[in-house]
A and B are shown apart, each in its own frame.
Chain A
């Protein structure tokens, strides 16, 4: 019997487990240790509630309620001089906490500081678009929707950006399979004909782009071209190698225009420039 593996997180996991290994945290600092950040946090606190705030690797991290995202980022942009939205993305915590963490990275060029605004939404919840504040959120939110399926409301044009529009599934979810279903080609065969006739029927062709190499009508057999409709089958393949006119040089009015490459005649550079 196979070992049971949970389906809610199919990402690759470490095979080796050390029972006594204690994972160390990345050191965090109090907000009070940095004057600029302390000022920012206190001023943001006057408009909304901050759930948590700390400094991690020179970044101020503030965690807010999801309904406040537009308000906070607008405030940070207009009143606190954070003029760049650098990054906007989601982190999949569906299996652990039943939702996504939305991350906004802001940069202030005048203070030379970076803030990370984080908020948590449940899978069924939506998040307000901040496209009206930063145009770049247009594409970032589309990418977030494409990769995680996070619904963004008030977005002008929420459709897929990297994947084709008829794609199903969101690839950066932890539940998204890492490889295809290899036995899928037998599903229909087993159902219609029964498992015992697998050998006679053969696997179902599920790749619509696949072309039979013996189909001379639709398949150019590179290097072995034959005229259309030539009957060929396995073991009976006419050989038509490509011949180039240029072999031996191209002649133009009797004189040679292109001479074939001669390794001995060619000059080599003595030293590099």
Chain B
């Protein structure tokens, strides 16, 4: 055993003094298939993993500490930097949590636009997942196909908010802007293209012998293990649990929308892949229903709640009292009621929750973000032993982890 002190730190990859012949491999943190800054310490017996020890924290930026030292509106753009593949989902999760704390509701048009954004984000995220996961496993061409469609989806996001990756397009109490002209037509065009393209991706992969050999019976997560590790999202649905917060505990508009929850009882990477592909169809189904809802809705975009939310730009420029209110809210920040709230939303990765403790000041007393990927990385501890080294890449890929939200 090593004697450790501050001058000679503990090195986890030194086990030469042991008698067995396991080999320690440091998978990452710079490995391209580690999906960010994951350092996996693998103990190998031949090519079989006997012990896995994920080491995280290489991207830790103290986002929760920042959340406690910024006013509620200031913190919103920071949430983009958590799950940066689907940043609108973070914005929405945070905005919804603060709205629940304030006891306000976004107007209908804002809610429709938000739902459009987060569903479009889900498609972007799933396409990104498909591209990188297939690339990790060895299918190169699918990467180019999926990234092409993702690019069109990001063009739509850019048309709406000007940003492609870190959108910050959702505000506490609504959205700042209405959809630009012809945006819904562009969206319809995109959905048609996407729905014609997904069968092409599936044609490349679903019955592909190599793809099936690499994915089937690899990374089997039994239901008990999934529940014990707090696994949510597609990883849970891939294990045969029909649990999607959008359906089971609906928030926003999801109660009115008609969509299905794809599940798979295979519990392996292949089952998860099937769920992901099906979810893209479901998201485009939701988007199609939202377009007429948008056209019918009233034009109000921000909730009317002068204590917490600034008035519209027009009012600020014409009404004296609105200008004063806006000035106070910008310089001091809103002061929400004293209390605690935990609000969970279904992000593309799983259950994204924000736990906010407010003591009535403009700064949150405590802000905790429950990131789904954090637990999806933890499960590697129990999931990897028994697999081959080559399967490690498949398993990490199929869990769809993003390090921005693991390390926060």
State whether B100 touches A57 (Cβ < 8 A).
yes
Q: Find B355's partner among A105, A147, A165, A272 (CB 8 Å cutoff).
A: A105
A65 to chain B, nearest CB (A): 20
Which residues in window 304-335 of B have CB below 8 A to A?
A: 331-333, 335
State whether B65 touches A87 (Cβ < 8 A).
no
Q: A92-B366, A109-B243 are in contact. Are A25 and B339 (CB under 8 A)?
A: yes
B164 CB-CB contact with A under 8 Å: no
B341 CB-CB contact with A under 8 Å: yes
CA distance A172 to B9 in the complex (A): 24
**Closest residue of B by beta carbon distance from A163:** B57
State whether A139 touches B378 (Cβ < 8 A).
yes
CA distance A135 to B65 in the complex (A): 26
B69 CB-CB contact with A under 8 Å: yes
B232 to chain A, nearest CB (A): 8
A257 CB-CB contact with B under 8 Å: no
Q: Find A11's partner among B69, B225, B351 (CB 8 Å cutoff).
A: B69
The interface stretch among B256-264, B356-364, B393-401 is B356-364
A171 CB-CB contact with B under 8 Å: yes
B6 CB-CB contact with A under 8 Å: yes
State whether B382 touches A135 (Cβ < 8 A).
yes
A261 CB-CB contact with B under 8 Å: no
How many B residues face the partner with a CB closer than 8 A?
63
State whether B353 touches A87 (Cβ < 8 A).
yes
Q: Find A26's partner among B225, B248, B340, B408 (CB 8 Å cutoff).
A: B340
A164 CB-CB contact with B under 8 Å: yes
Query: Hey, which chain A residues are within 8 Å of B193, CB to CB?
Result: 273
Q: A14-B333, A139-B374 are in contact. Are A161 and B355 (CB under 8 A)?
A: no
A204 CB-CB contact with B under 8 Å: no
B180 CB-CB contact with A under 8 Å: no
CA distance A87 to B64 in the complex (A): 15
Interface size class, chain A: 35 or more
State whether A116 touches B342 (Cβ < 8 A).
yes
B293 CB-CB contact with A under 8 Å: no
A34 CB-CB contact with B under 8 Å: no
CA distance A9 to B178 in the complex (A): 42
Contact with B along A173-203 (1 / 0, CB 8 A): 0001010000000000000000000000000
The interface stretch among A16-24, A121-129, A246-254 is A16-24
A40 CB-CB contact with B under 8 Å: no
Q: Find A13's partner among B101, B241, B361 (CB 8 Å cutoff).
A: B361
Q: A14-B362, A109-B241, A139-B378 are in contact. Are A171 and B62 (CB under 8 A)?
A: yes
A196 to chain B, nearest CB (A): 34
Query: Hey, which chain A residues are within 8 Å of B374, CB to CB?
Result: 139
A177 to chain B, nearest CB (A): 11
Q: A84-B230, A86-B230, A89-B355 are in contact. Are A172 and B64 (CB under 8 A)?
A: yes
B103 CB-CB contact with A under 8 Å: yes
Does more than half of chain A's interface fall in helix, strand or loop, or is it mixed?
Answer: loop
**Closest residue of A by beta carbon distance from B9:** A166
B192 to chain A, nearest CB (A): 10
Which residues in window 185-234 of B have CB below 8 A to A?
A: 186, 189, 193, 225, 227-230
State whether B361 touches A14 (Cβ < 8 A).
yes
Q: A12-B69, A136-B229, A172-B64 are in contact. Are A103 and B360 (CB under 8 A)?
A: no
A114 CB-CB contact with B under 8 Å: yes
Query: Hey, which chain A residues are within 8 Å of B64, CB to CB?
Result: 147, 172
**Closest residue of A by beta carbon distance from B57:** A162
Contact with B along A26-64 (1 / 0, CB 8 A): 111000000000000000000000000000110101000
Q: Find B60's partner among A85, A163, A176 (CB 8 Å cutoff).
A: A163
Query: Hey, which chain A residues are within 8 Å of B249, CB to CB?
Result: 112
CA distance A166 to B64 in the complex (A): 21
Query: Hey, which chain A residues are within 8 Å of B47, CB to CB?
Result: none
Q: Find B101's partner among A26, A59, A114, A272 (CB 8 Å cutoff).
A: A26
B368 CB-CB contact with A under 8 Å: yes
State whether B56 touches A86 (Cβ < 8 A).
no
CA distance A7 to B408 in the complex (A): 26
B16 to chain A, nearest CB (A): 21
Q: What are the 3 A-B residue pairs with the smallest beta carbon separation, nearest first?
A: A26-B339, A23-B360, A162-B57
Residues of B at the A interface (CB closer than 8 Å) are 6, 9-10, 56-57, 60, 62, 64-65, 68-70, 100-101, 103, 152, 155, 186, 189, 193, 225, 227-230, 241, 243, 248-249, 331-333, 335, 337-344, 351, 353, 355, 357-363, 365-366, 368, 370, 374-375, 378-379, 381-382, 407-408
A-B contact pairs, 6 of them (CB 8 A): A23-B338, A109-B241, A161-B57, A162-B57, A163-B60, A171-B65
User: Given A14-B332, A14-B362, list of 6 further CB < 8 A pairs?
Assistant: A12-B69, A16-B332, A57-B339, A139-B375, A163-B60, A166-B9
